[in-house]
Chain A
Amino acid sequence: MTVDSYLPAGMPAPVPSGDDLDLAYWEGTRRGELLVQRCDGCGTWQWGPEWLCHRCQSFDMQWQQIAGNGLIYSWERPWHPVHPALRGMGPYTVVLVEMPLAGKIRMLGNLLGPADQEVVIGAAVEAVFEPHDDADIPYTLVQWRLTN
């Protein structure tokens, strides 16, 4: 499921890190797949990406596709625009989402919907994909919407 851009054009565009640590994640989102790290040695889920497992120090980190079902762990609604692209648009909502089916790792994105909607910690959300095909280096963001 893909959606239109939540924030205005001109926001900073994500690119994979120069050492390719997170290349698989960004390639996955282009295909509409949510990939995160899981240790091949001990099964620990890990986010954000790192070269080794924080639990067992194994370097055998795999990329595993997960279902985009999570719970709102924290949230905020910036009103003051700190980037030129945000000036004049008003408040927007950001959620930190805990993934219960993937070791409770947390992922971040915007909560789609009206800017004045009530946000409840613990509410169920699901990932949707926001493609930016016209960017210099095309990318896709993962966004969140309340689960019906």
Chain B
Amino acid sequence: MSRRSIRGKVAVAGIGETTYYKHGKSPDAEFALALQAILRACEDAGIKPREVDGFASYSNDRSDPSRIAAALGIPDLRFSNMQWGGGGGGVAAAVANGAAAVAAGYADCVVVFRALAQGQFRRFGEAMPDPQVSGDAAYMAPYGVMSPAQKYGMRATRFMHDHGVDHSVLRAIAMASYQHAQSNPRAVMYGRPLDAETYDTSRWIVEPINRLFDCCQENDGAAALILVSAERARDLRQTPAYLLGAAQGSDHRCGAPVMNASNFGSSSFATVAPRLYEMAGVSPGDIDVVQSYENFTTGVMMAVVEHGFCAPAEANEFFTLENLTAPAGRMPLNTSGGNLAECYMHGLGLQLEAVRQIRGQSCNQVPNVKLAMNIAGPMVTPVSSLIMGSEETLS
């Protein structure tokens, strides 16, 4: 039996996003934002909205595919898919799931989307004041462990302790995102640069790992991308970004209750990253640009390390502003400004940015990008990551 792989079979043909807003500032309803992003992705690809026949999303997106299909007048809805798991761990997996449907013939044109209006619904960074809690929450919430920053801080503290990682690493990651956002007019933080002193004097959200600027924004908006077969993508108007590999999951007992994961000081990618590289047939040194989901800068650091870009002991030397910024850094990171400074579109904005880098359309273009990596939702389970490549990577 030949090795099974998605490599080169499916491509991103279109991308679209709404205006990105601070949370609570969208003038449009969340569902309308989803429709806007999808229509823009169709326009970008040169595909009629009624040609779309599948949808994939993650994190229990509220915009139901059947309602979208009805709203758009889609004649034959052939694929609807929701990736398990909360948080942003499912972003790359949603793209992979949609691509698998195209490769398998379940659908021909799958939209991957995420719409969020945290102003219209509950904010991620705020606890629900439930008077009673049970299950895993019963062992955490009564002690004041409720928000993502609090739930995942323990993992990051342990990783930084085990490997002697300095806070300068986290500052470099935050400042790289803000620097990139200054040349991205879509970015919520466009025109709002971040200097080292502002970072260093910002308030603790969770000591000793998360200062204010280590944490993602909360935003309103929507983003979408369109997947078609590689053959069809070559006939459309945009340069295709081919999916070379994707992987999802987590290692031994990652989801064990009350923080009892076997490999606790980890971003959950220990077994996922090797599978990704094996499928894509490339190594960390081959990757030209990295988009790595920032729930927190600690998660970025741990995920980049676990994808093999540097050893844990090298993190303090590797993560510098110079190394992380486009165009000439050693590993340009989050070149749109990402979740920290462009928009917290739950990581889908980072996927769109990877496509722009392959096309040569980024506001912070890295020269001659052939391979772009996308890492989703570090520290949660399941997590996911993928690698996109240009036409020349297929031969």
Contact A13:B158 (CB < 8 A) given known A74-B264, A82-B147:
no
**Contact string, A68-86, partner B, CB cutoff 8 A, digits 1/0?**
0000011111111011111
Contact A12:B133 (CB < 8 A) given known A78-B150, A83-B127:
yes
Interfacial residues of chain B within 135-176, with CB under 8 A of chain A in the complex: 135-147, 149-150, 153-155, 157-158, 161
CB pair B132–A48 under 8 Å, yes or no, is no
A36 to chain B, nearest CB (A): 10
Contact A74:B260 (CB < 8 A) given known A17-B135, A94-B150:
no
Contact A76:B207 (CB < 8 A) given known A82-B126, A108-B145:
yes
CB pair A17–B138 under 8 Å, yes or no, is yes
Q: Which of A7, A13, A48 contacts B143 (CB 8 A)?
A: A7
B253 to chain A, nearest CB (A): 6
Instruction: Name the residue on B nearest A73 (C-beta).
Output: B158
A144 to chain B, nearest CB (A): 10
B204 contacts across to A, CB distance below 8 A? 77, 79-80, 91
A110 contacts across to B, CB distance below 8 A? 143-144
CB pair B127–A82 under 8 Å, yes or no, is yes
Total chain B interface residues with beta-carbon distance under 8 A: 45
CB pair A82–B146 under 8 Å, yes or no, is yes
B196 contacts across to A, CB distance below 8 A? none
CB pair A77–B208 under 8 Å, yes or no, is yes
Q: Which of B130, B150, B155 contacts A74 (CB 8 A)?
A: B155
Given contacts A12-B133, A54-B253, A82-B150, 11 further A-B contacts (CB under 8 A): A12-B131, A14-B138, A15-B133, A26-B138, A47-B257, A47-B260, A76-B157, A77-B208, A82-B126, A83-B146, A105-B260
Interfacial residues of chain B within 117-139, with CB under 8 A of chain A in the complex: 125-127, 129-139
B131, B137, B149, B155 pick with most chain A CB within 10 angstroms: B131
A117 to chain B, nearest CB (A): 12
CB pair B258–A106 under 8 Å, yes or no, is yes
CB pair A48–B133 under 8 Å, yes or no, is no
A-B contact pairs, 5 of them (CB 8 A): A12-B137, A13-B142, A54-B253, A94-B145, A108-B258
Interfacial residues of chain A within 1-43, with CB under 8 A of chain B in the complex: 7, 11-18, 22, 26
B209 contacts across to A, CB distance below 8 A? 76
Contact A15:B138 (CB < 8 A) given known A77-B204, A109-B143:
yes
State the total of A-B contacts with C-beta under 8 angstroms.
Answer: 140
B165 to chain A, nearest CB (A): 14
Contact A79:B203 (CB < 8 A) given known A47-B260, A96-B259:
yes
B157 contacts across to A, CB distance below 8 A? 74-76, 121
Whether A127 is near chain B, meaning CB under 8 Å from some CB there, is no
CB pair A108–B143 under 8 Å, yes or no, is yes
Q: Which of A77, A86, A137 contacts B206 (CB 8 A)?
A: A77
B132 contacts across to A, CB distance below 8 A? 12-15, 136-137
CB pair A76–B138 under 8 Å, yes or no, is no
Q: Cα distance A34–B203 when bound, in Å?
A: 37
B237 to chain A, nearest CB (A): 46
- Taking Cβ atoms with an 8 Å cutoff, the residues of A that contact B are 7, 11-18, 22, 26, 47-50, 54, 73-80, 82-86, 91-92, 94, 96, 105-110, 121, 136-137, 141
Whether B70 is near chain A, meaning CB under 8 Å from some CB there, is no
Q: Cα distance A144–B264 when bound, in Å?
A: 21
Whether B256 is near chain A, meaning CB under 8 Å from some CB there, is yes
B161 contacts across to A, CB distance below 8 A? 74, 121
CB pair B142–A74 under 8 Å, yes or no, is no
Contact A83:B144 (CB < 8 A) given known A14-B133, A75-B154, A75-B157:
yes
CB pair B150–A76 under 8 Å, yes or no, is yes
CB pair B139–A17 under 8 Å, yes or no, is no
A12, A14, A94 pick with most chain B CB within 10 angstroms: A12
Contact A78:B136 (CB < 8 A) given known A48-B258, A94-B145:
no
A92 contacts across to B, CB distance below 8 A? 144
B127, B143, B157, B208 pick with most chain A CB within 10 angstroms: B143
Whether B313 is near chain A, meaning CB under 8 Å from some CB there, is no
3 nearest A-B residue pairs (beta carbon): A48-B257, A14-B138, A48-B258
Q: Which of B130, B207, B264 contacts A91 (CB 8 A)?
A: B207
B136 contacts across to A, CB distance below 8 A? 48
CB pair A76–B146 under 8 Å, yes or no, is no
Q: Cα distance A49–B260 when bound, in Å?
A: 11
A9 to chain B, nearest CB (A): 12
Whether B104 is near chain A, meaning CB under 8 Å from some CB there, is no
Q: Cα distance A77–B135 when bound, in Å?
A: 23
A119 to chain B, nearest CB (A): 9
